[in-house]
Structure 1
């Protein structure tokens, strides 16, 4: 009963303060009641700054009924009310020693939290004494969400740049190991950087959310298919299974290496050769996997290379590592066959 009586007395006192407050400030209170900015007034005569007025926007933002707010100290709205630093910043704002407002973490009635920018101004009587504090809050929820999103994007960008630089470094290093001819070095590096750029363009169009295998293959092979009228000599069959950005880049580079080799030594080095590229998703005891085959035919007789070049290392080591699978190169006399066996993510889907 004592708690109920105390609460009733506090509520009556708050309501009386509001009535007096309305009479003193008149039109300003009416304006504060109707504005869309959350606003409140507190009683400066008491140390905990009890709230004597809260407009509709404030109670809507906090999720309380008005009578649940009136008479409560301002810190009642704070989620970090036990945080000494937060309390110090809020106190400084009320005392006028803060410059330009402060950010406070608030808690709604339902327990959810939101950030708000707090601005406090004193209200003085005719003698200059501070009688109330006028406080306005700006909901920073969207701003904070954008901050988090921006940090995530920056982190993702840094990650992509580092991966790209690592790939470029590998391209240059492997090329220099393979030849000392400046012209060949330039052509080799430019070709591979161009392939990397095309894969980046594809992922950018897809908002870096991944890319479909059919799109990856068409995009990587488009320069080889159009040049020299080879479009009808490259046949691609398979669903547009989605891959992550990392896997998409690796596959794009792999297709470029296979096509470059075909132009130099294989099925695209003459007028009669052709390439068949096909893949399918299969369920195995170890999980869902992608089986892809690159088959060349009609080109010059094939002999296994005396040593493994950059392209072979990219495929058998790099691609296998990036996709956590296996890559086999079979140099058959009638044409190269490359077989790629990689696991598919659980959410992989056709398009």
Structure 2
């Protein structure tokens, strides 16, 4: 029921005013010309946690311990009385000792009875505190989603730009791009938001993304990576896995890879995660004639993270020692 409907009903002598007032689900007060409360709805009593006897006959602005002496509300009613106007959707936010900070939309209208020509004022309060909160949360979620989508598109673009095209077929480029993209997508599950990720989980995710088998982990101490490091570290080990599948130990049935790690202390303070990637029983690796994209990715990314990566092309197989600060 809107205030316009209530206004018409209360002017009808055949309708009991109190029954209408108590039927309303929105808080309502009826004020006389001196702004004293002559009627109040049950919804008002419940919403603002007040006793009916402590409300009736008192000035609206003296209710409670003066908590209703609200400047915005005074301004609203001051506009209604002299102009005999109606006001709808006037927003008021206030801290109430009993019910906390509330935001409500106020509708106000003068009520003129034909019999005595008295001028009462109906004031209806629509509490929108929760709906406003939900709206703010929705806006925040949408904003955060847009932000994350922009970040994801930036990652996709970077992967596309950095995936080597020289001497690659379209199919090879596609496979390389989709493999790296798969790693990027999996990292979102490992470290959502600002959460850290377990290093062992990052290793396993990078291997699974490359669809590789025969990689054996020799579990080391627990170590965590910050969320900002999860993707680049995943890319390092995904690149090592991909190269092992194409050219290294995993390219032959009897080959395997052993991965181990430890934590070292540098300068007596900073922890350094040292991970060794050792390929065994595969073809003897040939040192590249030039520093290709894969080497650049592994070495450059580790350096960018404040660590280092060393690739050793030993007769038994490639050994990569990756050091990362933690």
TM more than 0.5: yes
Question: Which of 116, 125, 132 does residue 137 from structure 1 map onto?
Answer: 125
Displacement of 1:293 after TM fit? 0.9
**1:317, 1:250 → 2: CA distance?**
10
Q: Where do residues 23-42 of structure 1 align in structure 2 (5 Å cutoff)?
A: 27-30=16-19, 32-33=21-22, 37-42=26-31
Matched-pair contact (CA < 8 Å) for 1:78–1:105 = no
Question: Which of 248, 251, 275 does residue 233 from structure 2 map onto?
Answer: 251
Long gaps (5+) in structure 2: 1-9
In structure 2, do the counterparts of structure 1 residues 314 and 297 end up closer, same or farther at CA, with 3 Å as the change threshold?
A: closer
**1:35, 1:162 → 2: CA distance?**
47
Q: How many residues align?
A: 306
Q: Where do residues 212-291 of structure 1 align in structure 2 (5 Å cutoff)?
A: 212-224=198-210, 230=213, 232-235=214-217, 237-238=219-220, 243=225, 245-279=227-261, 289=271, 291=273
Matched-pair contact (CA < 8 Å) for 1:117–1:140 = yes
State yes or no: 1:155 paired with 2:138: no
Q: CA RMSD in A?
A: 4.3
In structure 2, do the counterparts of structure 1 residues 335 and 60 end up closer, same or farther at CA, with 3 Å as the change threshold?
A: same
Q: Where do residues 149-188 of structure 1 align in structure 2 (5 Å cutoff)?
A: 149-176=137-164, 178-179=166-167, 181-188=169-176
Displacement of 1:319 after TM fit? 5.5
**1:288, 1:92 → 2: CA distance?**
69
Range with bigger deviation, 71-80 or 177-186: 71-80
State yes or no: 1:58 paired with 2:44: yes
In structure 2, do the counterparts of structure 1 residues 56 and 182 end up closer, same or farther at CA, with 3 Å as the change threshold?
A: same
Higher helix share: 1
In structure 2, do the counterparts of structure 1 residues 196 and 41 end up closer, same or farther at CA, with 3 Å as the change threshold?
A: same
SS in 2 for 1:104: strand
Matched-pair contact (CA < 8 Å) for 1:295–1:336 = yes
**2:266, 2:14 → 1: CA distance?**
77
**2:71, 2:138 → 1: CA distance?**
28
SS in 2 for 1:337: strand
In structure 2, do the counterparts of structure 1 residues 60 and 184 end up closer, same or farther at CA, with 3 Å as the change threshold?
A: same
Displacement of 1:30 after TM fit? 4.8
In structure 2, do the counterparts of structure 1 residues 250 and 36 end up closer, same or farther at CA, with 3 Å as the change threshold?
A: farther
In structure 2, do the counterparts of structure 1 residues 36 and 197 end up closer, same or farther at CA, with 3 Å as the change threshold?
A: same
Displacement of 1:168 after TM fit? 1.8
Alpha-carbon displacement from aligned partner over 1:188-236 (angstroms, at most 9, x marks no partner): 2222223223334x359x68856544443333322545x5xx2x43326
In structure 2, do the counterparts of structure 1 residues 121 and 316 end up closer, same or farther at CA, with 3 Å as the change threshold?
A: farther
* Structure 2 partner of 1:81: 71
* Structure 2 partner of 1:347: none
* Structure 1 partner of 2:283: 300
Alpha-carbon displacement from aligned partner over 1:264-305 (angstroms, at most 9, x marks no partner): 232322223322334456777786746151412213333443
TM norm structure 2: 0.71
